[in-house]
Amino acid sequence: MVRPFSRRWVTVLLALALVGLVPVAASAQTQADVDRAEREKEIAEARQTQAYQDYVDVSAQLEEAVERYEQIYAQHADLVYRISRMESAVERYQTEAAELEEAARDIVLDAYMSGQSNLIGSAFSATTIQDLVTSRALIDRAAKRELESLDNLDAVSREADRSSAELDVRRADVAANQAEAELIVDEISTLQQRQREILAQADANLTAAIETLKRERREKAAEDERIKRQQAERSASRPGAAGGAAPAATPGFMCPVQGGASFIDSWGFPRSGGRKHKGVDMFNARGTPLLAVVDGRIKFSYNSLGGRSTHLYADNGVVYYYTHLDSHPSNISSGQRVSKGTVVGFLGNSGNARYTSPHLHFEIRPGGKAVNPYPTVRSAC
Ligand SMILES: [Zn+2]
């Protein structure tokens, strides 16, 4: 009873399907759909091509902004260091001037005691110690030894004044410098935001194109670096030139910043307190995961200069140092062994980087001594 009924329906359905199928493919309606789809595809492709071009432009601008930032930051550190040294020099001059003033007062007092009225007059009419020191009366009165100290006072006072004036100029430089640095920090974060937007909207083709671009840039940089190193080796017989780590010391090294970062070779740039930069500063958004570059044991720490840090001890004795972290991951603990690619921190600006654009300060220390990490990082990021 059921079979003829169902067979009949199967036949009807089959017929309907055939009728439906054949004309549908040929209908004008569908051709328009196909054309529209074709146009949409072309528009989408053009959009992605534009996005790719934007990405290339933004990357170049970002690199250039980071370069400017590094320069200005180095200038800033250098200026601040000079100022601190000038301040102590001014302080020394002032102490010396105070001692010499004391000596000048003694001369005046001595003159008063022995009734030298012309000198007393000068002493009382002088509005500044400089007037007194350079007054004829005092100079006439002073014995040879005393005269020397008075000359000295004059010189020291002038030096203190000159240094103070220069200090004012330097302080103005620092303020201008800081304002410029802040603008660049904003620019960097805007560009990073733009880059993230492009990546968020990228389709598979664009993502692949961007990956290719990144790889080509890496390869070019590695090649440039290789040539530079070769030239340095040829020209310099001096040992310990900032050539970076030997590739054999960092086998399997991977980029420490997930998704890469913007950075330049800032090895040896001036830093606060007259120190030299011993690492590479890798700029990216706060909170970007930082990865173990090789297998090893990690140690978390905190200090006021570096802020939150991670040390990674590779089995071959090379130490990798990550600092200015925003935070440490909560799922692993200090002292633990981790494998390459494990998240060992999150990018930030803790420690003395708290007024800078968030970045990872990264060091490579073969045998405990930092070498320029740039070539190694450049070829991996
Ligand atoms: Zn740094």
Cα–Cα dist 361/325, whole Å: 9
Provide the percentage of residues in the chain whose pLDDT is more than 70: 79
pLDDT of residue 27: 56
Q: Are 350 and 307 in contact (CB under 8 A)?
A: yes
290: CA distance to ligand 1 center in Å?
15
pTM of the model: 0.68
Predicted confidence (pLDDT) per residue in 241-263, tens digit: 457 888 889 999 999 999 999 99
171: CA distance to ligand 1 center in Å?
23
Check pLDDT > 50 for residue 16: no
pLDDT of residue 81: 82
pLDDT of residue 305: 80
- Of 307, 324, 309, nearest to 358 by C-alpha is 324
Predicted confidence (pLDDT) per residue in 171-190, tens digit: 888 888 888 888 998 999 89
> By mean pLDDT, which of 23-27, 66-70, 262-266 is the weakest?
23-27
274: CA distance to ligand 1 center in Å?
14
pLDDT of residue 226: 80
Q: Are 141 and 119 in contact (CB under 8 A)?
A: yes
Cα–Cα dist 276/269, whole Å: 6
What's domain 247-381's superfamily in CATH? Answer: Glucose Permease (Domain IIA) (2.70.70.10)
> By mean pLDDT, which of 116-120, 186-190, 319-323 is the weakest?
116-120
pLDDT of residue 354: 79
Check pLDDT > 70 for residue 96: yes
Other C-beta atoms closer than 10 Å to the C-beta of 335 total 9
Cα–Cα dist 312/295, whole Å: 8
Check pLDDT > 70 for residue 105: yes
pLDDT of residue 325: 97
Q: What is the DSSP letter of 242?
A: S
Predicted confidence (pLDDT) per residue in 277-300, tens digit: 999 999 999 999 999 999 999 999
DSSP line for 89-116: HHHHHHHHHHHHHHHHHHHHHHHHHTT-
Cα–Cα dist 290/329, whole Å: 10
Check pLDDT > 60 for residue 332: yes
Token pair in block for residue 60: 């170049």
Predicted confidence (pLDDT) per residue in 45-64, tens digit: 888 888 899 999 999 998 99
Check pLDDT > 50 for residue 238: no
- Of 337, 329, 349, nearest to 313 by C-alpha is 337
Q: Are 300 and 334 in contact (CB under 8 A)?
A: yes
Cα–Cα dist 27/5, whole Å: 33
Q: What are the boundaries of each domain within the chain?
A: 247-381
Check pLDDT > 70 for residue 233: no
pLDDT of residue 14: 46
- Of 270, 367, 352, nearest to 304 by C-alpha is 352
pLDDT of residue 2: 42
277: CA distance to ligand 1 center in Å?
6
CA distances (Å), origin 355, targets 181, 182, 288, 325, 331: 10, 9, 18, 14, 29
Handedness of CA 330, 334, 336, 341 (dihedral sign): positive
76: CA distance to ligand 1 center in Å?
14
pLDDT of residue 314: 96
Handedness of CA 124, 125, 128, 129 (dihedral sign): negative
> By mean pLDDT, which of 25-29, 80-84, 193-197, 225-229 is the weakest?
25-29
Check pLDDT > 60 for residue 236: no
Q: Are 322 and 300 in contact (CB under 8 A)?
A: no
- For residue 138, what pLDDT band results from cuts at 50, 70 and 90? low
Token pair in block for residue 72: 């200005």
Q: Are 266 and 283 in contact (CB under 8 A)?
A: no
Quick one: the chain helix, strand, coil %, rounded to 5? 65, 15, 25
288: CA distance to ligand 1 center in Å?
17
Residues 6+ apart with CB under 8 A from 349: 286, 307, 324, 326, 355, 356, 357, 358, 359
Residues 6+ apart with CB under 8 A from 133: 104, 150, 153, 154, 157
361: CA distance to ligand 1 center in Å?
4
pLDDT of residue 147: 63
375: CA distance to ligand 1 center in Å?
15
89: CA distance to ligand 1 center in Å?
29
80: CA distance to ligand 1 center in Å?
17
270: CA distance to ligand 1 center in Å?
10
266: CA distance to ligand 1 center in Å?
8
Taking phi over 0 as left and psi of -120 to 50 as alpha, with beta for the rest, 115 belongs to left
Provide the percentage of residues in the chain whose pLDDT is more than 90: 33
Residues 6+ apart with CB under 8 A from 274: 81, 85
